[in-house]
Amino acid sequence: AQTVTQSQPEMSVQEAETVTLSCTYDTSESDYYLFWYKQPPSRQMILVIRQEAYKQQNATENRFSVNFQKAAKSFSLKISDSQLGDAAMYFCAYHVGGATNKLIFGTGTLLAVQP
């Protein structure tokens, strides 16, 4: 069974600095999708970034980028130039393939941004 592990329950970063959130997963599949979602205190889950396993190039979305290491089954999120609005719970998620639309989530990392 696929699992997703986020080993950092909480992280803190100074405004304008860079922070990296870790995520590892376990799967026997070769083709899959990985996601990072952000859940601010308002609770609306927002998609941050997506990575297709068949792509070697790391995904980037503005200040957000990933370090995808397929062999190591690692999928970390780097936030550059952190802003106060980045404070939220961040979830790493693995998409179970095939016809289903099931996401398996990690336990989340609560990111605090210090002014």
Partner 1 sequence: KAGVTQTPRYLIKTRGQQVTLSCSPISGHRSVSWYQQTPGQGLQFLFEYFSETQRNKGNFPGRFSGRQFSNSRSEMNVSTLELGDSALYLCASRTTSGTYEQYFGPGTRLTVT
Give the residues lining the site for partner 1 (CB under 8 A).
33, 35, 37, 42-47, 50, 52, 91, 95, 99-108
Closer of 11 and 96 to partner 1 (Cβ): 96
**Nearer to partner 1 (CB atom), residue 30 or residue 101:** 101
Identity of the residue, 7 or 107, whose beta carbon is nearer to partner 1 in the bound complex: 107
DSSP result, 1-24: --EEE---SEEEEETT--EEE--E
Contact criterion met (CB below 8 Å) for 10 and 112:
yes
**Dist CA 10 CA 52 (whole Å):** 26
Residue type (1 letter), 21: L
CB of 80 to partner 1, least distance (A): 22
Nearer to partner 1, 14 or 54 (CB): 54
Euclidean distance between CA atoms 19 and 67, whole angstroms: 12
Least distance in angstroms from the C-beta of 7 to partner 1: 14
Q: In the bound complex, what is the minimum distance in angstroms from residue 88's beta carbon to partner 1?
A: 13
Compute φ and ψ for 23, nearest 5 degrees. -155, 130
